[in-house]
Amino acid sequence: MAVLVSGASIAGLSVAYWLDRFGFDVTVVERAPALRVSGSPIDIRGDALQVASAMGIAEKVHDQRVATSGRNAFTTWVDAHGGPIAVLPNEYAADSPDDIEIARDNLIAILHEAIGPGVEFVYNDSIDTVVDTGGEVEVALSSGRSDRYDHVVGADGIHSTVREAVFGPEHQFRRHLDTYTALVDLPLGSGTSGESITFSTPGKMFCINDYVHRTIGFMAVRTPEVDYDNRDLADQKLVLAALLDGEGGWRSDFLMRSIAETDRLYFDSVSQVHMPQWSQGRVVLIGDAAHAASLFSGRGTSLAMIGAHHLATELAATPSEHAEAFGRYEQLMRPRVVTAQEGVSEARDFLVPATESELRSRNERFAVDAAR
Closest CA to 128 of 116, 139, 114: 139
Closest CA to 313 of 45, 24, 110: 24
The CATH class of 73-97+177-270+350-371 is: alpha beta
pTM score of the predicted model: 0.92
CB 44 within 8 A of CB 67: no
- What is the distance between the alpha carbons of residues 319 and 327, in angstroms, rounded to a whole number? 13
Tens digit of pLDDT at every position of the chain (372 positions): 999 999 999 999 999 999 999 999 999 999 999 998 766 788 999 999 999 999 999 999 999 887 654 345 578 999 999 999 999 877 676 677 788 989 888 999 999 999 999 999 999 999 999 999 999 999 999 999 999 999 999 999 999 999 999 999 999 999 999 999 999 999 998 988 888 899 999 999 999 988 878 899 999 999 999 999 888 999 999 999 999 987 778 999 999 999 999 998 989 999 999 999 999 999 999 999 999 999 899 899 999 999 999 999 999 999 999 999 999 999 999 999 999 999 899 999 999 999 999 999 999 999 986 444
CATH for the stretch 2-64+99-173+272-344: 3.50.50.60
- What is the distance between the alpha carbons of residues 249 and 246, in angstroms, rounded to a whole number? 10
- pLDDT of res. 93: 66
Tens-digit pLDDT profile for residues 95-150: 777 889 898 889 999 999 999 999 999 999 999 999 999 999 999 999 999 999 99
- Sorted by where each begins, the domain ranges of the chain are 2-64+99-173+272-344, 73-97+177-270+350-371
- pLDDT of res. 247: 73
Intra-chain end-to-end CA distance of the chain, in Å: 59
- pLDDT of res. 69: 40
